[in-house]
């Protein structure tokens, strides 16, 4: 079992909130950034007596981490390095809005040891970006990739959203082609999830927008999956033989990488249900078989950190996880990994019990439905043609 930890750092500040967003993010609260960074560093340093395990990935998410000044990020990185042993090859990811990328900012990130950037591209179509409430343009995304690479940040990931209201297949193909033309190493595709309370939810409730039908959403995913893969032979719609077309390996339901070395190490920590710290307002962690959820309100988070000497000063909830629930999580999340899946050996080493014994009934159900397969190495995998109905497999592991 992996003995290394990961760290998630939540930066909840945004200039504006995207219409589909229901994350723990806030616009117009930048005045709290200095106190927030101080509290965040204090929360990190609180782990110093317990930090005896190497950390091999750090992820700055949000919100918009690029709302922070370089000096703020330097303080956070200093607190991390003072508290934890970061492995020499640690993957350190920083989420950015494409229009926040400048040469000086990128160079500063690289100087601090940040070595991976995730850009929220979402679409290449101007009217779709406007409909999403995004501030950037496709041209700014393309320029941002070039600036990052020039600064030495050559591990770049793009996020795209499909199934958005009024989105057409033609425009989706345009976005996929645009992403493939950029010199990036990773692409994530996310199906729109309409969250109650979001601006998008209100627009749909008022009838101002219409969601694409389910068949179209499925077709969008299948088109992208076929087009992005290295096995595809045809030139994607919107590209020509003259374009430099990069192909990707489909390694997780929603994620593609140019090779195994560029798969998201941090996200794999989640999918393999391995320990991670969560720092910041609304952050979640999983340490010592406990689920830890921080207070989400920024001001209240700062107050809690400053007022407590506890190891987890901002924890709003600490829930011990039962062994069976952990086993179920390993099964559900492991099936998301399309090539690695879950091995009997890994399960046995972790829990001291046999996967085929613990989940005999569930596995029989899945086999009868042809939702899973076993590879020659006795590895449990999701059936290749069942990705779009993967939830039918996952539900077997929910009591």
Tell me the C-alpha distance between 169 and 163, whole Å.
10
Q: Contact at 8 Å (CB) between 201 and 371?
A: no
Residue 383 pLDDT class (50, 70, 90 cuts):
very high
More confident residue, 375 or 1: 375
* Per-residue pLDDT tens over the stretch 194-241: 777 777 878 888 888 788 899 999 999 999 999 998 655 666 666 665
Element (H, E) at 215: helix 214-228
| Average of per-residue pLDDT across 95-109 | 97
Q: What is the pLDDT of residue 199?
A: 79
* Per-residue pLDDT tens over the stretch 124-155: 999 999 988 888 999 999 999 999 999 999 99
Tell me the C-alpha distance between 222 and 217, whole Å.
9
Residue 274 pLDDT class (50, 70, 90 cuts):
very high
End-to-end CA distance of the chain: 26
* Per-residue pLDDT tens over the stretch 316-333: 999 999 999 999 999 999
Q: Contact at 8 Å (CB) between 61 and 281?
A: no
Tell me the C-alpha distance between 142 and 124, whole Å.
10
Q: Contact at 8 Å (CB) between 382 and 338?
A: yes
Can you list the domains of the chain with their CATH numbers?
5-271 (3.20.20.70), 343-397 (no CATH)
User: What's the whole-number average pLDDT of the chain?
Assistant: 92
* Per-residue pLDDT tens over the stretch 211-221: 889 999 999 99
């Amino acid at each position: 079992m992996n003995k290394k930890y990961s760290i998630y750092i939540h930066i909840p500040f945004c200039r504006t909130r995207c219409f589909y967003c229901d994350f723990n993010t806030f616009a117009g609260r930048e005045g709290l950034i200095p106190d927030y960074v101080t509290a965040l560093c204090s929360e990190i340093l609180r782990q110093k007596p317990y930090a005896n395990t190497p950390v091999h990935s750090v992820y700055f998410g949000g919100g918009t981490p690029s709302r922070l000044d370089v000096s703020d990020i330097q303080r956070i990185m200093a607190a991390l390095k003072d508290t934890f042993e970061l492995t020499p090859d640690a993957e350190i990811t920083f989420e950015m809005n494409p229009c926040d990328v400048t040469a000086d900012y990128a160079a500063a990130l690289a100087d601090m040891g940040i070595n991976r950037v995730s850009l929220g591209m979402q679409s290449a179509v101007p009217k779709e970006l406007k409909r999403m409430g995004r501030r950037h343009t496709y041209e700014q995304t393309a320029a941002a990739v070039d600036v990052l690479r020039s600064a030495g940040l050559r591990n770049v990931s793009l996020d795209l959203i499909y199934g958005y209201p009024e989105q057409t297949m033609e425009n989706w193909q345009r976005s996929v082609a645009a992403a493939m033309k950029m010199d990036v190493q990773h692409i994530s595709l996310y199906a729109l999830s309409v969250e109650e309370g979001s601006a998008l939810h209100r627009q749909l409730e008022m009838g101002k927008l219409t969601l694409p039908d389910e068949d179209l959403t499925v077709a969008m995913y299948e088109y992208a999956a076929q087009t992005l893969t290295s096995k595809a032979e045809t030139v994607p719609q919107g590209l020509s033989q003259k374009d430099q077309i990069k192909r990707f390996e489909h390694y997780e339901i929603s994620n593609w990488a140019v090779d195994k070395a560029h798969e998201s190490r941090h996200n794999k920590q989640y999918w393999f249900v391995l320990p991670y710290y969560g720092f910041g307002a609304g952050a979640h962690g999983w340490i010592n078989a406990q689920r830890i959820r921080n207070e989400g309100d920024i001001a209240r988070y700062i107050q809690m950190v400053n007022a407590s000497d506890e190891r987890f000063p901002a924890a709003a909830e600490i829930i011990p996880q039962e062994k069976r629930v952990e086993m179920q999580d390993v099964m559900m999340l492991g099936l998301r990994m399309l090539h690695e899946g879950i091995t009997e050996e890994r399960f046995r080493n972790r829990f001291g019990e046999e996967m085929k014994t613990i989940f005999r009934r569930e596995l029989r159900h899945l086999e009868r439905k042809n939702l899973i397969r076993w590879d020659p190495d006795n590895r449990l995998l999701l059936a290749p043609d069942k990705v779009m109905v993967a939830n039918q497999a996952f539900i077997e592991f929910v009591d």
